[in-house]
Amino acid sequence: MNMDFTDVLTSLRRIIRTVNLESKRIEKEYGISIPQLLCLHFLRKQKNYQASHKQLKDQLSLNASTVTGIISRLEKKGLVAKLPRFGDRRVSLVTLTAKGEDTLNNSPQPMHLKLSRKLEKLSPDELDKLQQAFVLISNFLEADDLDASPILTSETTLNSSFDS
């Protein structure tokens, strides 16, 4: 197969477009952004469906102010609630509500979970080659200093500190 650099750019654009379209579709159909959905998924897996702000920040690989915005929007929608932490009122826990659980049960699986399952099927050599290619592209884009997240969202591809 004879490829030139425009084929690489076209493939990259196709990936970005797919992520953006998926994010817009989910937001339109379910009224929730991908980072909000991922926050709910994380809470569902936690003991008592609760996590601290720091745990959410670390899991989502986003900055503290972005996570605060995500939590605020989820709280306004009634999908999560903040509970004071016993013994330390300065810190609250975020907990999944029954409405949040219903939203998860009726929402689609995030794209990164589908992609993860396919990546797991690659051989270590194939995975290494793919990683090397992405490192090279990242270097070309001078994206080394951007917040990086292992989740795919249009927000993280466009602006890692933005949550719609």
Fold of 5-158: Arc Repressor Mutant, subunit A (1.10.10)
φ, ψ of residue 50 to 5 degrees: the values are -125, 150
pLDDT band at residue 158, thresholds of 50, 70 and 90? very low
Residue 37: pLDDT above 70?
yes
pLDDT of residue 97: 96
Q: What is the pLDDT of residues 42-68, one digit of tens each?
A: 999 999 999 999 999 999 888 999 999
Cβ atoms of 154 and 60 closer than 8 Å: no
**pTM for the structure as a whole:** 0.71
